[in-house]
Chain A
Amino acid sequence: MRYALYTGCTVQTEQYGYEVSVRATMPKLGVELVDMAGTSCCGFPPFGSFNELAWLYSSARNMAIAEGMELPLFALCNGCHLSFTETKHMLEQFPELKAKVNEKLAKEKLSYEGNVQLIHIFELLYDIIGKDKISTALSKSLKGIRFAAHPGCHAIRPSRIGRPDDPENPKKLDDLITWLGAEAMDYPEKVDCCGSSLAVSTGRTTLDIAGEKLKAVKRRGFDGLVTTCPFCFKVYDNKQRAIQATVRESQLEVPIFYYTQLLGLAMGLKQEELGIDLNQSPVDVVLTKIGGA
């Protein structure tokens, strides 16, 4: 199983814990990650609101590089994966737009055909690798730990163009958590947004929206929250202190993990090998429960 690894801006410039834990765990599941060369921003966050052609060009540019490698494109970030999926869909629907994008790509001798296969981490872990193969790679159970799965908006919506899980009742991340021996708790706030994209315009609202979810997770007595989205992680983990101050709840302490960090712990890897030392939320409580990490 070989995949072209697209890390995306947020992962490669600051969310090192995700990239490190992906690179540490995937080879143990038989996945070979091939680094891409010459990539750029997927285009959505900056250009989606500004200029549609700049977005489609940016997005198709990276898909064109993956097509050149003749490998499926594995985008780590929910946002990048959706940006690629939407662009692929748009350029299929509007051949004149595809021609326009290709005219721009030609300046770098790139060309986008539209036959790239896009892979999301849920599809890779859940549908392709699967429970049996993951189970045999584990050496430790996370038994007795109760997590809230947070798949993130862009992994599940909009369903009409095809997303890796159900828009209203996503279960794959929950199952992936239970495969590690931990419990995945159902909760009504599961499909709610983290608010991160407002950080660029109204940061206070981001903290308010994120605070609601963390309060719910805390109130329900879960041990932590698990995600695979770098934007959601950045808000819930990196900004948890600011959220505490904004929603005025000093007891709002919720350990946050990337799924691949938990997967690595269950494989017997050390927390330093999984970038868990970079998690800013109070993860030590959970690490103690897991033991030996």
Chain B
Amino acid sequence: MKKPSSSKTVSRMNAEACDQCGKCPSACPVAAHIEGFNPRQIIAKVALGKEADLMKSQVIWTCTGCLKCKERCPEEISPYDVILALRRIAIYLELPHPEGYDGVIEAVVETGVVQQPQLVRTRNKERKDRKSMGLPPADKPRDMAAYTQTLREILGEETH
């Protein structure tokens, strides 16, 4: 597996341009709930070249992806994109990440979707599936083997 172009990815984020204005933490829904998660501080650390600390602390995995920081940043830095880039590098470096992702990835690679069609309940506790709802069968890749193989190949290559 080739090394991901982490320096390229992070430098493209323009973190040094941050004025530390504080618009991003004031917009962030997570900063109010999780101590230690602050998009402004994340950008400051990246600008100082301390992204390794962020990746080890797992704080990068608590962003909801609401995109308010990206929308409101006056310097168009996007803490959100910086966080995604750090996550991908952390994955390459095999640093810990929330286990919940692994099952979802495996399901998508093997079946094309994050989960198989579920039996759901009505308010009267009746069970319903796609068929009893009058819906057509769920869709999936026609050549599942080729699809799965391609994704496995990509996951084993460069993360970009």
Q: Which residues of A contact B (CB under 8 A)?
A: 7, 9-10, 12-14, 16, 19-20, 23, 35-41, 43, 45-54, 57-58, 61, 97, 104, 107-108, 153-154, 157-160, 167-168, 191-193, 195-202, 205, 208-209, 275, 277-280, 283-284
Q: Looking at chain B's contact residues, is the secondary structure mostly helix, strand, loop, or mixed?
A: loop
B113 touches A104 (CB 8 A): no
A209 touches B154 (CB 8 A): no
A9 touches B115 (CB 8 A): yes
Residues of B near A279 (CB, < 8 A) are 123
* Distance A215 CA – B95 CA, assembled complex (angstroms): 37
Q: Which residues of B contact A (CB under 8 A)?
A: 29-30, 33-34, 61-62, 64-68, 70-71, 76, 78, 84, 87-88, 91, 97-98, 100-101, 104-105, 108, 112-118, 120-124, 126, 128, 130, 133-136, 138-143, 146-147, 149-151, 153-155, 157-160
B98 touches A14 (CB 8 A): no
A–B pairs, 26, beta carbons within 8 Å: A9-B115, A12-B130, A13-B114, A13-B118, A14-B118, A16-B120, A35-B136, A37-B142, A38-B142, A40-B147, A47-B105, A51-B154, A51-B159, A53-B159, A54-B155, A107-B150, A153-B67, A160-B76, A191-B68, A200-B98, A200-B100, A200-B101, A201-B62, A205-B62, A208-B33, A278-B120
Q: Which of B34, B87, B91, B105 has the most CB of A within 10 A?
A: B105
Taking the closest CB of chain B, its distance from the CB of A248, in whole angstroms, is: 15
Contact A195:B64 (CB < 8 A) given known A48-B84, A51-B159, A53-B154: yes
A209 touches B117 (CB 8 A): no
* Distance A16 CA – B133 CA, assembled complex (angstroms): 7
Contact A46:B105 (CB < 8 A) given known A7-B139, A16-B120: yes
Taking the closest CB of chain B, its distance from the CB of A98, in whole angstroms, is: 13
* Distance A199 CA – B98 CA, assembled complex (angstroms): 11
Residues of A near B30 (CB, < 8 A) are 198, 205, 209
* Distance A255 CA – B121 CA, assembled complex (angstroms): 17
B104 touches A51 (CB 8 A): no
B105 touches A50 (CB 8 A): yes
Partner of A157, one of B70, B104, B116, B153: B70
Nearest chain B residue, comparing its CB with the CB of A10: B114
Residues of A near B105 (CB, < 8 A) are 46-47, 50
B143 touches A9 (CB 8 A): no
Contact A13:B157 (CB < 8 A) given known A193-B29, A197-B64: no
A13 touches B68 (CB 8 A): no
> Can you add 17 more A-B contacts, CB < 8 Å, to A153-B68, A157-B70?
A13-B115, A13-B116, A16-B130, A40-B113, A41-B114, A43-B108, A49-B101, A61-B147, A104-B154, A158-B67, A158-B70, A193-B29, A193-B64, A201-B61, A201-B62, A202-B98, A277-B128
